[in-house]
Copies of this chain bind each other. A is one copy, B any other.
Amino acid sequence: MRFELLHVDRDTGARAGRLHTPHGIVHTPVFMPVGTHGTVRALTPEEVESTGAEIILANTFHLSLRPGGALIRRAGGLHAFMHWARPILTDSGGYQVFSLPHLRRVTDEGVVFRSPIDGDEVSFTPERVMEIEEELGADIVMPLDVCLGYPAPDAEAALALRRTLLWARRAKAAHRRQDQALFGIVQGGFAPERRRQAADDLVALDFPGYAVGGLSVGEPKPMTYDLLSAVTERLPEARPRYLMGVGAPPSLVEGVGRGVDMFDCVMPTRIGRTGMALTAAGPLSLRRSSHAEDLRPIEAGCPCPACGDYTRAYLRHLFKAGEMLGPRLVSLHNLAFMGRLAAEMRGAICEDRFGPWSRATLARYGDGVGRGNRPDAAEPSGTLNGSEA
């Protein structure tokens, strides 16, 4: 994998670039739709691609438990298995493991837990996770890490950070497939000094890309952005930066302004399935009775099929009648919205107008019809690493 930094916005830290992967080019900043189980929920790969998505995320934890890495390897890898020919990033599943109610044992060696599917005892070590990720065959792979909630006691944060770094080293040593890029994950809790130290230690290991994990897990937004800035300032300019589990439109804009290149979140598809549509003026609940006779599209001018072919009244009818086409169409619209948002950001960066563009965009979004229904509210800590399970 090769990262090509094309342009840095003159007045902000926003960057435009290109990730060259074995399955094609990804233009950054990029939003990566989440397909936890090897499918972006409710959509075909062709539909996902039609939204402008150039890379998707899948989850090693979920896929290793079902259907298993060995089957996916025999099927020709995850790309062939799920019929997606473009780049894939697999998360390690660290976040999911540390969210389990039946976590059995965490040691320096790794974690032992009970499978939520069949109750079997499963062991994850940095080496085992790399092995599964090699079976899946994604273009970008994440190492096993220790995830914290907010707030985290200092001793716990220190221990988690020490293990995350230890595991990053072991993952790097175990990493073999040269067609897969192993990123490092900056953890470190909620103290800026520890985050900076974590970034420095990780950078010393020399990864081809760096993720920021453990943010947007319940801490106040200003703290998120301060910690993010503290980290990105320490990361090498020539490597891509990935803010894990963050996907609300305002958070994307704020993250890009702080030099982040990649994002993922289940939010657009998750809220889409409930009838909440993203628009430039903020989210719109299609279940509201005010849309019962509304013959307008979700968003005028949006080129997605949900907006081109259907009215709000029809979409509302689908949701009221419990028809699957509703979740499909609004998921599709929301990913198209995220695709357009990322494309707009790239354009603004390349033309050195990201600052004014982002202020106007954030103001419009906040003033929208959806006030009180901002997707931030629909992005609980549970979506941090993008699990839909």
- Taking Cβ atoms with an 8 Å cutoff, the residues of A that contact B are 37-39, 41-45, 62, 66-67, 71, 74-75, 81-83, 292-293, 295, 305, 309-311, 313-314, 316-318, 320-321, 323-325, 327-328
Check B305–A44 contact: CB distance below 8 A: yes
The 8 closest A-B pairs by CB, nearest first: A42-B324, A37-B321, A83-B309, A67-B317, A39-B325, A39-B323, A81-B314, A37-B323
Cβ 8 A contact of A311, one of B75, B305, B327: B75
Check B67–A292 contact: CB distance below 8 A: yes
Check B74–A310 contact: CB distance below 8 A: no
Which residues of B sit under 8 angstroms from A323, Cβ to Cβ? 37, 39, 41
Which residues of B sit under 8 angstroms from A314, Cβ to Cβ? 38, 75, 81-83
Cα A323 to Cα B38 with chains together (Å): 10
Cα A295 to Cα B67 with chains together (Å): 13
Cα A38 to Cα B325 with chains together (Å): 11
Cβ 8 A contact of A66, one of B67, B75, B317: B317
Check B318–A39 contact: CB distance below 8 A: yes
Cβ 8 A contact of A324, one of B311, B320, B321, B328: B328
Knowing A67-B313, A81-B314, say if A295 contacts B74 (CB, 8 Å): yes
Check A38–B324 contact: CB distance below 8 A: no
Cα A295 to Cα B305 with chains together (Å): 32
Please, could you name 28 A-B residue pairs with CB atoms under 8 Å apart, sorted by A?
A37-B317, A37-B318, A37-B321, A38-B314, A38-B317, A39-B321, A39-B323, A39-B325, A41-B324, A41-B325, A42-B325, A44-B305, A45-B309, A62-B321, A66-B317, A66-B320, A66-B321, A67-B313, A71-B292, A71-B313, A74-B293, A74-B295, A81-B314, A82-B314, A83-B314, A324-B327, A324-B328, A328-B328
Which residues of B sit under 8 angstroms from A75, Cβ to Cβ? 295, 311, 313-314
Cβ 8 A contact of A310, one of B62, B83, B328: B83
Which residues of B sit under 8 angstroms from A328, Cβ to Cβ? 42, 44, 324, 328
Check A320–B43 contact: CB distance below 8 A: no
Residue among A44, A81, A321 with most chain B CB within 10 A: A321
Cα A176 to Cα B320 with chains together (Å): 31
Cα A82 to Cα B316 with chains together (Å): 12
Cα A42 to Cα B66 with chains together (Å): 24
Which residues of B sit under 8 angstroms from A44, Cβ to Cβ? 305, 325, 328
**Smallest CB–CB gap between A45 and chain B, Å?**
8
**Smallest CB–CB gap between A76 and chain B, Å?**
9
Known: A37-B318, A38-B317, A81-B313. 8 other contacts (CB 8 A): A37-B323, A39-B323, A44-B328, A66-B320, A66-B321, A71-B292, A83-B309, A83-B314
Check A324–B325 contact: CB distance below 8 A: no
Residue among A45, A317, A324 with most chain B CB within 10 A: A317
Which residues of B sit under 8 angstroms from A293, Cβ to Cβ? 71, 74
Residue among A44, A62, A305 with most chain B CB within 10 A: A44
Which residues of B sit under 8 angstroms from A321, Cβ to Cβ? 37, 39, 62, 66
Closest to A389 in B: B321
Which residues of B sit under 8 angstroms from A45, Cβ to Cβ? 309
**Smallest CB–CB gap between A46 and chain B, Å?**
8
Cα A45 to Cα B328 with chains together (Å): 13
Closest to A70 in B: B293
Cα A38 to Cα B75 with chains together (Å): 38
Which residues of B sit under 8 angstroms from A37, Cβ to Cβ? 317-318, 321, 323
